[in-house]
Structure 1
């Protein structure tokens, strides 16, 4: 495992736990060996994220901006280290448990909620 990722992740554990406490989520540490599904353009706002159960080599996290698409190539696998490089402000949400979603923008708007419908993969 990459020591750089371990250091970065451990630095953010406390902020992740605070977010979990604020939104009544159990803390569910992300497995740094698994991938996060991200849309190709994370520059649009707001940023959306949701956590499914882990499956295969995917952590269960899917993060996108702009309009949702059902296209097979809408999400690309990205490692945690590269997500942190692109969007470091998102790491604080990655401790939220399966079933949680978030919506955030650069102006400070944040919404976090539990969505039972995403707790099972179909």
Structure 2
């Protein structure tokens, strides 16, 4: 399968949602990634309510968070398999979901309050 032909949800994404008792919600075409943080650990993901006329609900960063205006950059979801493959299985978690994963196998998934 070519990266551009990725299907959402795939089996691994469905299993993550099922494991945490959450509905499956396929991602939008774009996500926001803190590109300068790539390679750090842990990896954090937050899915917010899609803003009106917006096209990004996932915000993902590695290591420490920054509130700098240019911290996140828009990236097409299909580039994640190359840039940050560890997060692909979490992309079908629903609005309000958050996750933390690390390179040692730690995984936590929950719904924001």
Runs of 4 or more consecutive aligned structure 1 residues displaced over 3 Å after TM superposition: 3-6
Query: What secondary structure is seen at the aligned counterpart in 2 of 1:9?
Result: coil
TM-score normalised per structure 1: 0.82
Gap runs ≥5 in structure 1: 117-122
* Residue 64, structure 1, aligned to residue 64, structure 2: no
Shift of 1:13: 1.4
For the residues of structure 1 that align with 2:86 and 2:12, how far apart are their CA atoms? Answer: 11
- C-alpha offsets along residues 34-63 of structure 1, whole Å, 9 cap, x if unaligned? x11111221100000010012344330000
- C-alpha offsets along residues 64-108 of structure 1, whole Å, 9 cap, x if unaligned? 012111111011101111112112221110000001100001110
> What is the aligned residue count?
111
- For residues 36-115 of structure 1, what are the structure 2 equivalents within 5 Å? 36-40=31-35, 41-55=37-51, 56-115=53-112
TM-score normalised per structure 2: 0.88
Other-structure match for 1:15? 12
For the residues of structure 2 that align with 1:85 and 1:9, how far apart are their CA atoms? Answer: 16
Shift of 1:5: 4.4
Gap runs ≥5 in structure 2: none
